[in-house]
Structure 1
Amino acid sequence: MASAANSGNPEIGATIRGNGIDTNYHDEGSGSPVLLLHGSGPGVSAWANWRLTMPVLAKRHRVLAPDLVGFGYTERPEGTVYDKELWQAHILGFLDALGVERVSIVGNSYGGGLAMALAVNHPERVEKVVLMGSAALHFEITPALDEIWGMEPTVPAMRRALDLFAWDRSLVTDELAEVRHRAFARPGVHEAYAAMFPEPRQRWVDAMASDPKDVARVQQPTLVIHGREDQVVPLSASLEIFGLLPHAQLHVFGRCGHWTQLEYADQFAEIVGGFLAASR
Structure 2
Amino acid sequence: MQRLSGRNRNLLLAAGALTAAYLVVRSKTRQVEAEHPPSGKFIAVNGLRLHYQERGSGPAVVLLHGNGATSQDFRLSGLFDQLAYEHRVIAIDRPGFGYSERPRDKIWTPEAQAAVLAEALRLLDVRQAIVLGHSWGAMVALAMGLDHPGLVRGLVLLSGYYYPSMRMDVALSAPALPVVGDLLSHTLAPLLSRAMWPALTRRVFSPRPVDAAFRRWPKWMSLRPKQLRVEAAETALMIPSAARLHERYGSLTMPVAIFTGDGDKMISPSHQAERLHRELEQSELHVVPHTGHMVHYVAQDAIAAAVRSITEQRPGIDYPQPASTEEPRTLH
Conservation of the 8 A alpha-carbon contact between 1:106 and 1:132? yes
Conservation of the 8 A alpha-carbon contact between 1:84 and 1:208? no
Between the aligned partners of 2:56 and 2:164, the Cα distance in structure 1 is 35
Q: Amino acid of the residue matched to residue 286 of structure 2? A: H
Q: 1:16-52: per-residue Cα shift (whole Å, max 9, x none)?
A: 1123211110111011111111111x2x111124441
- 5 Å matches for 1:109-188? 109-141=135-167, 143=168, 145-146=169-170, 152-154=189-191, 155-167=194-206, 168-171=208-211, 175-176=215-216, 179-180=218-219, 182-188=220-226
- 5 Å matches for 1:48-127? 48-51=73-76, 52-127=78-153
Cα gap change, 1:215 to 1:78, in 2 (>3 Å): closer
**2:299 aligned to 264, 273, 277, which one?**
264
Between the aligned partners of 1:218 and 1:67, the Cα distance in structure 2 is 25
1:251 aligns with 2:276: no
Q: How far 1:227 moved relative to its partner?
A: 0.3
Q: How far 1:158 moved relative to its partner?
A: 1.7
1:190 aligns with 2:228: yes
Between the aligned partners of 2:261 and 2:211, the Cα distance in structure 1 is 15
Cα gap change, 1:24 to 1:174, in 2 (>3 Å): closer
Conservation of the 8 A alpha-carbon contact between 1:107 and 1:130? yes
Between the aligned partners of 2:62 and 2:73, the Cα distance in structure 1 is 15
Which runs of 5 or more residues in structure 1 are unaligned?
1-6
Between the aligned partners of 2:230 and 2:200, the Cα distance in structure 1 is 18
1:34 counterpart SS class: strand
More displaced, 30-39 or 96-105? 96-105
Cα gap change, 1:149 to 1:27, in 2 (>3 Å): farther
**1:230 aligned to 250, 256, 264, which one?**
264
**Match of residue 3 from structure 1:** none
Q: 1:219-273: per-residue Cα shift (whole Å, max 9, x none)?
A: 10111110001111110200011011121111101110000001333x3444334
Q: TM-score, normalising length from structure 2?
A: 0.71
Cα gap change, 1:49 to 1:210, in 2 (>3 Å): farther
Which runs of 5 or more residues in structure 2 are unaligned?
1-33, 176-188, 315-332
Which structure shows the bigger proportion of residues in strand conformation?
1
Q: How far 1:213 moved relative to its partner?
A: 4.7
Q: How far 1:146 moved relative to its partner?
A: 4.3
Q: How far 1:9 moved relative to its partner?
A: 3.6
Conservation of the 8 A alpha-carbon contact between 1:229 and 1:256? yes
Q: How far 1:67 moved relative to its partner?
A: 0.3
Count of residues in correspondence between the two structures: 263
Q: Amino acid of the residue matched to residue 141 of structure 2? A: A
More displaced, 154-163 or 29-38? 154-163
Q: Amino acid of the residue matched to residue 171 of structure 1? A: D
Q: How far 1:12 moved relative to its partner?
A: 2.5
Q: Amino acid of the residue matched to residue 186 of structure 1? A: R
Between the aligned partners of 1:92 and 1:123, the Cα distance in structure 2 is 10
Cα gap change, 1:209 to 1:128, in 2 (>3 Å): farther
More displaced, 253-262 or 204-213? 204-213
Which structure shows the bigger proportion of residues in helix conformation?
2
Q: Which one has the largest radius of gyration?
A: 2
Q: 1:60-88: per-residue Cα shift (whole Å, max 9, x none)?
A: 11111100101111123344432223211
**Match of residue 275 from structure 2:** 240
Conservation of the 8 A alpha-carbon contact between 2:111 and 2:140? no
Between the aligned partners of 1:253 and 1:10, the Cα distance in structure 2 is 34
2:150 counterpart SS class: helix
Q: 1:150-185: per-residue Cα shift (whole Å, max 9, x none)?
A: 7932322122221221022142799547x22x1123
